[in-house]
Structure 1
Amino acid sequence: MKNQKTWVAVILLGTVAVNAGAYLVVRSRKAAQPEPVAARPPEPTPAVAPPPTVAAVAPPKEDANAGLVRALRASGLAALEDRDYERAVEQFTEALKLRPDDRDSDLTRLLGIATDLRSREQSKTAQAPTPREPAHTRAPPRTRAAKLAAARAAREQQATPAAAQEDAKGGLLLVTSTPPGLVVMVDGRAVDLTPARLPVSAGTHRVVLAQGDRRLYEETVEVDADSVRSLNRDLTGELAPPAQKPAVAPVAAVTPASPPAADGTVASPRDPEPTKPPEPSVAKAAVAAQRGDLEVTSPGLYGEVWINGRPYGFPPISAQALPSGPAKVEVRVNGEVKRRMTVEVEPGRSTRVRVK
């Protein structure tokens, strides 16, 4: 009985040992073989978004209208110079249609001048003398009333050429400029602002276009009897501020070294004179802090604005860098002062003035 148990134990141990050996052999073989690499799925390529299309920026409508208005104004001025008043009226009318809110500009005055000149030409054409019946075909008056009427007609006939000759002694001078609002001086006397329609006597006249104390243009014109003389000038370049020259930096002078003396000693080089550093712009900043701006509007009166004796154009205007303190503001119409006031300019601030 004891021997049976021993053999059973030996058989069990042998079976376990055989199984363990087989397991180790199989495991070693699996370790020697390379593991198959699993194929990775292809990474999805990111979708590239098309570049955004840049929308074409249309030019602002106001700028296009402004260019067209300037072109129509120039065409109307050329028509005035050519005495084509019908075309001038059409051009100025079209320009005002494009700027319905800009009724206070010089286009209104130009349209009024062109309309007046057109009416003047039409009235001259309508008043052209009609050929009268020859005197020998008329029957002599017989009654007293007929004789008095004939005498009155003769007197009127004699007075008509005299009146026509009196009207023909003078002419018209039409002065326009770009930009408008310049002072027109005729024979040394300020008479109006551009655009201006001036009745003058026939002959030679000296015409000056000025802004304040600056004479921008001068010309001697000849005005014939019963005619229209046009003068149109573009003075935009003369009114532009002059370009400032760049400041030149000072160059320090270099002193050459002194030659050796006879005894072999070398003299010490002269020390160059120290250049003075540029002064800081503290004074400029202080002056700028003592200045202010002035904005002037005049909805009820259209005239040229003068500040401290200098013209600044037609309102609304913005006068910058004015000295702080009281400033004299005037509104002039055709060279005559219509409004006058004193405004306190605050340093470093913008003061608004409304002229009533």
Structure 2
Amino acid sequence: MNDPTRAEEIAARVTAFVRETVAPFERDPRCGAHGPSEALVSELRDLARRAGLMTPHIREDGSHLAHRDTATVLRAAGLSPLGPVALNVAAPDEGNMFLLGKVANEAQKARFLAPMLSGDARSAFFMTEPAEDGGAGSDPSMLQTTARPDGNHWVIEGRKAFITGADGAKVGIVMARTEQGATLFLADLPHPAIRIERVLDTIDSSMPGGHSIVTIDKLRVPADQILGEVGKGFDYAQVRLAPARLTHCMRWHGAATRAHEIACAYAVKRHAFGKMLVDHEGVGFMLAENRIALKQAELMIDWCADVLDSGAKGTTESSMTKVAVADLLFAVADRCVQVMGGTGVSGDTIVEQVFREIRAFRIYDGPTEVHKWSLAKKIKRETLAALEQA
């Protein structure tokens, strides 16, 4: 049930916390190429707990705010790249908590979900596989990682790629192929059978642990750590993916909003050719286009959230929203860099980081082209069906 008044109250507190408490840490040397260090994550989360804002989109009884209300809160959390991490609403943890809340049994929730909700444990979702292995990427049906039963256990073997947060995670959700179909398994981390080959150097730098290539070598998992039912892994992944695509949009909307604020402040403080930069039409128009794009993105997010709140799967709507919002926000970030010139490409503000992060967002949770391809197939089916009935 939507509770916009409550969501606005939480968002106001989150906004103040992120701007006043979290943002000063953006220059902390513990923010590295592979994300904030574990020490910094711990410090930020302690501050969030003291402010009563740990995991603010999940109620004390474990239920989630409505998607529309979550959008209000997560846009506020995204005002700093460190905000989602501090508040425990970052990817992949936010999506993994949502999935476990929907699918895990009570014992699994107590063991794996509870420490995630409290912010004491990070998690990783092991699905994507290396291209050189012919493994699953945008096409999960290419899954190569296998799981075979062995008494009351399952033995999992394979390699995974671009696993966000694997380095330092305590909870793993592993997708593997069984005779019955793709299946999800819960694993305690770190584990000697799950070896990080390397942490990749990527364009983004906001997610703790970065993105890893991982080898899974004869990982033994008890049968009671199967998440849901054997063979239903793809179905459960969809439970997670549509809402997770949308929460990515929410968080990066906040980041793009902050970048726009910084660019606006620069444009009124900086003078050139006898007047403020904002008074030059080329600059003023870019900021106007940003304002329009941010509102368009907000409306798309809220529309998709309403679809999910209606109980619909929202697969098509989340694809449309992910494509539109990623492109809109990247254009916003790009214009912010352009308005600020040399300062925009420097590390003196977070604008250049937001630019990098949102560029990567156009690939996260399915590249733009994959979503468009899926939508095109749907259009083809619907059009052919309509022509047959005509």
Same fold (TM over 0.5): no
Query: TM-score of the superposition, structure 2-length normalised?
Result: 0.27
**Bigger Cα Rg:** 1
Between Structure 1 and Structure 2, the one with more strand by share is: 1
Higher relative contact order (CA 8 A, sep 6+): 2
